[in-house]
Each structure stands twice: as C-alpha cells, then as structure tokens.
Amino acid sequence: MEDELSLKEDESRYGPDRPFVFFTKRFPAHHQVGLHYHHTLEVNLIDGVTGKIRVEGRDIDLSSLSVLVLAPDTLHGYDIAGKGGSMGIFHLSIEALAAYIDIPALMGAEHPLARLPCSHPAYGELKALIPPMAEAGMKNRLEFLERLAGLLKILSRALESVGKGPGFPVVSGGGTELRRLVAFTESRLAGRIDLESAADELGFSKSYFCRYFRRATGLSYMEYVRLARIERAKRLLSTGLTVTAACFASGFEDLSYFIRSFREAEGMTPGSYVREKSSEPHPMVRPASGKETILEPEG
C-alpha cells in the first residue's frame, strides 16, 4: 500500500478493473498514523484492537467497535496501543465503480456518503460480507457486484437512521481548515516547517493555532509533522531508498532521531521495516499471518 508519496491517497491506482484494495494489519507494538485523508470509502474490520482513532476532531475508542466506516475525504489518524489484535482495511473507490454503477444516483443524493455515521449496528454484517467480496474481486464480476449491492444496502440502512432516534456519530464533512493545513504540510515535509508559518497559513496567531490544532487532533502540530514525515519515510523506503536517504528526504535532520522516532511510531526500526516488507509475498495474496499486504482484484 505504501507506494505513493502523498499524505492524500493516490487515486491513480484505482480503475474499473481495480476498484478496491483490502489488506490486514496486526498490532503487536504501539502504532501511530498521523492525520490524513483519501477519496475512497474506508471500512475497518476491527478484531481485538485497543487504542483510538481521531476522526474529524473527535476521539473514538477502537476497543468498543467491531466495524468502523469512514466516508470519503474524512480526516483521521490512528493511535493504537499495540497490545495485539488486527484490523482488516478495505478501501473502495467510488469513482472507479462508476464504470458499473452510479452510486450517487442510486442512493438519491449528490454526495450521499458524506453523511454516513462512522458506527452503526448494521455495520456488523460487513465482517462477513467484505472478505469474500474482496476474494472474489474482479475475477468474478457478477459475484463482486452482487456483494457490492449488499454493501450498499447496509450503508443505506445506516443513512436512513441519521437524525432519527438514538444517534450514531456522523463525523465526516468538516475539517476544511485542517485539510488546507494537511496540503500545506505535505508540500513542505522535506524542508523546514515551523509553527509560525503553519499558523500564518490559516491566519491564526501562534498561540491560538497551537490550541486549535491540539483540540482538533489530540496532537501538537510538530508531533503531527513528525508522524507525517515517518509516513513519507515508509513510502520512500518501499521504493528502495536507503534508510539514510529516506531519513533526509522526509525532512529529518538527524539519523539517530529518525530511527528513534520511527521505532516509537511503528514498533520497529526502519531497517526492520524494510526487511519485513521485502519478505512479504506478492500482494495478490493475503497470507494467514495477517502481515500488512494488499489484496487487489485481478485485471
């Protein structure tokens, strides 16, 4: 999955013959992913994971959920305790699916998914639906589309409950200032970034910016920058760069600090990360070990 160099997901890998990815992560050690967003619908199938996800400025306890749904363009970041557990992560490109089905027209709104609650009792059914759907992939398009119809029915049931009776959190659709800040940070990761320039980007004073960012994300801005640089380093390491080259290309100025920060965020050193990546099987296969891999449909 770590093949693009942007904090925003690269949509170019999706298409009519590849409308989704599905992979599994295990969490034996503390794991953090900084604030980011993508244009795909994301479904997290959660099994024994402890920690939290920060979604559009609010914290959600992962241990209280079995399935979490994130609408396209939802700002989110993970802080996982690393006490075991795993997460199946499914990304579905609405744009790529347009070759087969017009989801906005089908669901009766221009941007229907923006109102999806992140949790809902109906989502429990996705645990049984998504893995075989991903397994079928585009090898059997009829089966894939039949299971896709089942997924859309579940999402529609969740949408119908929004604003009726006991509420389920709807957390997408906001964060314009934060998305602007994500873009600003992304463009400057390889160079120097300071609080003053970030505050100026939003027209805030430095003190107000610090309070605003921590309230919205649960992190200081510079901690967010550190995590964003680690994510960039992971992507660069996956392209074959050395640890030293990835360190400096990601904006770190000290190799020892980079290795220490990487270990704190990922539970392993950059060198161990490279070795683990190189030992993974072809991404068309999702092994029983549950290492982070991509299960992609065949063209």
Residue 164 has a pLDDT of 58
The pLDDT, as a whole number, for residue 128 is 94
All residue ranges of the chain with pLDDT < 70 are 1-12, 57, 108-111, 163-175, 279-299
What's the pLDDT at 174? 45
So what's the pLDDT on residue 110? 57
CB 297 within 8 A of CB 144: yes
Is-same-fold flag (11-161; 176-271)?
A: no
Q: What is the pLDDT of residues 14-57, one digit of tens each?
A: 888 889 999 888 888 888 887 788 889 999 999 999 998 888 76
Query: How much is the pLDDT for 180?
Result: 82
Given a contact cutoff of 8 angstroms between Cβ atoms, the answer to whether 69 and 117 are in contact is: yes
CATH number of 11-161: 2.60.120.10
Domain range list for the chain: 11-161, 176-271
Alpha carbons 187 and 224: distance in angstroms, whole number: 14
DSSP percent split of the chain into helix, strand, coil, nearest 5: 45, 15, 40
CATH number for region 176-271: 1.10.10.60
